[in-house]
A and B are shown apart, each in its own frame.
Chain A
Amino acid sequence: MLLTCGASWTAAEVDANSEQRLLEWQTKQAASVLSTAVMLIEQPLGTALSVQQAAPARGSEAFTQFMSAYVGPESTFVSASLWRRQGEAVAPLVETGGRPLLEPSSPAAQTYVAEAFGHQTATAHRIDSGAEARIVWVRADPAADLAIYAERRIPADRRAAVDSDSAYANLTYAIYLGPEVTAEALTTTDADPSDLPLRGVTSQETVPFGHTVLTLVAAPRGHLGSDLSRWLPLGLLLGGVLLTVAAARTGHRLARGRWDAEQDASTITALYEQVEILYGEQRVLFERLQRALLPHAHPVMSDLEIASRYVAGSRGIDIGGDWYSVVALDDHRFAFVVGDVSGRGVDAVAVMAQARFTIRAYLLDGQRPGAVLQKCSHQFDIEADGHLITVLVGIGDTRTGEVTVANAGHPAPVLVGGVARPVEVSPGRPLGTGPSWYEETTIRMPPGSTLFCFTDGLVERRDEDIDAGLRRLGTTLDRAASDPLDHLVSHAVDTLRNDDAPDDVAVLAFRWTATP
């Protein structure tokens, strides 16, 4: 009796402990994603400083030019300025972007810039003016007497999409500027502010933020470790770690590059090349992050072959939000999705992850393609997250070869077998445009035929009509119609994709191999 009591007490204790451990583990992941985001914010400031110093002859032009990619109403910073220190006084040399919340002549701005010369890292402060709240970043180089001042917006209600990475999917979280968990320090949360501070089982992590820290407090939302999110945080964690390493290496090499540049002005070109190379490396890591979000294997089903391919675009360091996925619904039925989030970068990938898992959840819940899209149309809003999502959702049956699809503004799939032809699927509106409804179309695949789904990067060219691209796709698929499926997919992608095409391409194709 005593033993049983003891054993069950131990079991309960173990269970509670494992819940706490799981929470701590997930909080660590969320913190890792957060610190990556912070690093991505800080990094341009340091690079801008290096670039400015490497090319002093160009005046403040180098600064303005470099920062233009990071400053704007929808960018990393709303405004930025380059400052010079003379003796004890600091004064702005040039400003770019919108109006700063702190006037450069204000004591606060002067203090923040002057203070930054005493820190090795960037400094970060929160400023408030009426309803508007911002974070002021200052990065200074005492040796060069230069500093960069930049303001970043905090969403007005503090309940932000900026941290809606899926690493947070199972957590209710609150992020505070500094080590103290107080209402004044709150910067972002997805909880109702009146429920704060978070109570019950919570976990806390701090991540470096300029000269101070961000404190992340998280509590579980429902049960942790659901199947849906099991591997996604892992992917983000992996990506986060890789990006962190990359950012650190970039900073280190830029510092070395700057020193070289000071030795010899002719190495400036080399420095710029170096920056290009580093951006290239960073891009590779971004791609790995995105690949971690794509399925590693497709379900194995009788009478069905599945092949897919993903090719990253060639321009810029940012990755796109294309994706595909196939899930088995039972022994005979499968669901598939091909989608494309407009825009690029980590934000687009975050929206992609959200769309992907929302759609998958509805499909596993037994919803039909039209209903899945209709429900999703209520959940995505371009005004809130800045992205349009085109997506094709279908459910197929390997016994009959029938496939039912619904389409939110996505290119129609092509049926290959006999003559390749686009399937007439009347497109509904892309997700993000607002609540909408979606027609369903049923395709009867002949035995041996292939349904080829793709994203627009495969057919879109700047110098021609979209129809010309679609025709070229049809011809290419016709020629390889009887090839093994893997080969058909590779052949289409290799033939149609421009080497300097900026856009990503995702292709998902399946062949119904039943004998008549």
Chain B
Amino acid sequence: MAEFVTNRRPDAAILVVAGDLDIASEVELVVRGREFLASSDVGVVELDLGGVTFIDSSGLGALVRLHKLAQSAGRRMVLANVPPRVARVLSLTGLSDLFAELPER
């Protein structure tokens, strides 16, 4: 199960995601992300993964889809607070350089 909370700063819209990003939460992540993109017009969309406990290929797929959605809407999606476990999976799957990543706060 994954949970979603939205936050705003003047310079970015933030979607905080927590829990397992897997086949069970894939569709919800894409749907929430899409709604979230539509609901704000800030140039930078931040996906805060600080609370993510697990990610598999379906979860990665959802991240890639959101990245592409943001791109085609002329926005930039960045990942924030990426836990080491998730960062490792991103690097093993050759996806690290696809996403811009904010340094840990």
Listed in ascending order, the chain A residues whose CB lies under 8 Å from chain B are 72-75, 340, 342-344, 382-383, 386-388, 390, 407-412, 426-430, 432-434, 456, 460, 462, 465-467, 502-503
Q: Are A388 and B61 in contact (CB under 8 A)?
A: yes
Give complex CA distance A465, B89 in Å.
9
Instruction: Report how far A342 CA is from B65 CA in the complex, Å.
Output: 13
Digitize B50-92: 1 where CB-to-A-CB distance is under 8 Å, 0 elsewhere. 0001101110110011001000000000000000110011001
In the bound complex, CA of A469 to CA of B26 (Å)? 23
Q: Are A429 and B27 in contact (CB under 8 A)?
A: no
- Residues on B with C-beta less than 8 A from A382 are 61, 64-65, 68
CA distance A388 to B92 in the complex (A): 14
Q: Is there contact, CB below 8 Å, between A342 and B54? A: no
Contacts of B31 in A (CB 8 A): 72-73
Known contacts A432-B64, A503-B56; A72 and B93 CB within 8 A of each other: no
Instruction: Assess whether B23 is in contact with A388, with CB atoms less than 8 Å apart.
Output: no
Instruction: Select from chain B the residue with minimum beta-carbon distance to A426.
Output: B94
Query: What are 20 pairs between A and B in contact, CB < 8 Å?
Result: A72-B27, A72-B31, A74-B27, A343-B57, A343-B58, A386-B61, A388-B60, A388-B64, A409-B92, A411-B92, A427-B94, A428-B94, A429-B93, A429-B94, A430-B57, A430-B60, A432-B64, A433-B95, A433-B98, A434-B68
How far apart sit A382 and B30, CA to CA, in the bound complex (Å)?
12
Instruction: Using known A-B contacts A456-B56, A467-B88, determine if residue A390 contacts B23 with beta carbons closer than 8 Å.
Output: no
Residues of A within 8 Å of B68, CB to CB, are 382-383, 434
A342 touches B60 (CB 8 A): yes
Q: Are B27 and A73 in contact (CB under 8 A)?
A: yes
Whether the Cβ atoms of B61 and A342 lie closer than 8 Å is yes
- Shortest Cβ gap from A261 to chain B (Å): 29
Q: Which residues of A contact B64 (CB under 8 A)?
A: 382, 388, 430, 432-433
A470 CA to B68 CA in the complex, in Å? Answer: 30
How many angstroms between the C-alpha atoms of A426 and B94 in the bound complex? 8
- Nearest-neighbor residue (CB-CB) of A407 within chain B: B94
Smallest CB separation, A25 vs chain B (Å): 36
A462-B54, A466-B85 known; A343 vs B98 contact (CB < 8 Å): no
CB of B68 to closest CB in A, whole Å: 6
Q: B20 interface residue, CB < 8 Å from A? A: yes
Inter-chain CA distance A456–B26, complex, in Å, is 18
What is the minimal beta-carbon distance from A68 to any residue of chain B, in angstroms? 11
The answer on a CB contact under 8 Å between B57 and A342 is yes
5 tightest Cβ-Cβ pairs between the two chains A and B: A427-B94, A342-B57, A409-B93, A409-B94, A388-B61
Taking the closest CB of chain A, its distance from the CB of B35, in whole angstroms, is 10
A432 to B64, CA, bound (A): 9
How far in angstroms is the closest Cβ of chain A from B11?
27
Indicate the size class of the contact surface on chain B: 20 to 34
Question: How many angstroms between the C-alpha atoms of A340 and B64 in the bound complex?
Answer: 16
**Smallest Cβ-Cβ distance to A410: which chain B residue:** B93
**Distance in Å from the Cβ of B37 to the closest Cβ of chain A?**
14
Q: Which of B31, B68, B84, B93 counts the most chain A CB atoms within 10 A?
A: B93
A451 to B26, CA, bound (A): 33
On whether A466 and B58 interact (CB within 8 A), knowing A74-B30, A343-B26, the answer reads no
Cα(A429)–Cα(B21), bound, Å: 19
Interface contact A466-B56, CB-CB below 8 Å: no
Q: Which of B20, B61, B95 contacts A387 (CB 8 A)?
A: B61
Residues of A within 8 A of B27 (CB): 72-75
Tell whether A466 pairs with B92 under 8 Å between CB atoms, given A388-B60, A390-B57. yes
Cα separation A407 to B94 with both chains bound (whole Å): 9
Chain B residues with Cβ below 8 Å from A390 are 57, 93
Q: How far is the CB of A456 from chain B (nearest CB, A)?
A: 7
Q: Beyond the given A342-B57, A382-B64, please list 7 additional residue pairs across the A-B interface where CB-CB is below 8 A.
A: A383-B65, A386-B65, A407-B94, A409-B95, A429-B98, A502-B23, A503-B56
A343 touching B23 by the CB < 8 A rule? Answer: yes
Q: Interface 1/0s, chain B 6-24, versus A by CB < 8 A? A: 0000000000000010010
The distance from the CB of A453 to the nearest CB of chain B, in whole angstroms, is: 15
CB-CB under 8 A from B23, the residues of chain A are: 343-344, 502
Contact of B95 among A411, A412, A430, A456 (CB under 8 A): A430
For A412, list chain B residues within 8 Å (CB).
92
**Known: A407-B94, A427-B94, A433-B64. Is A388-B89 also a contact (CB below 8 A)?**
no
Contact partners of A340 in chain B: CB under 8 A: 57
In the complex, what distance in Å separates the CA atom of A484 from the CA atom of B65? 43
**CB proximity of A468 to chain B, nearest CB, Å:** 10
Q: Are A466 and B89 in contact (CB under 8 A)?
A: yes
Q: Which residues of B contact A466 (CB under 8 A)?
A: 85, 88-89, 92
Name the A residues within 8 Å of B85 (CB-CB): 465-466
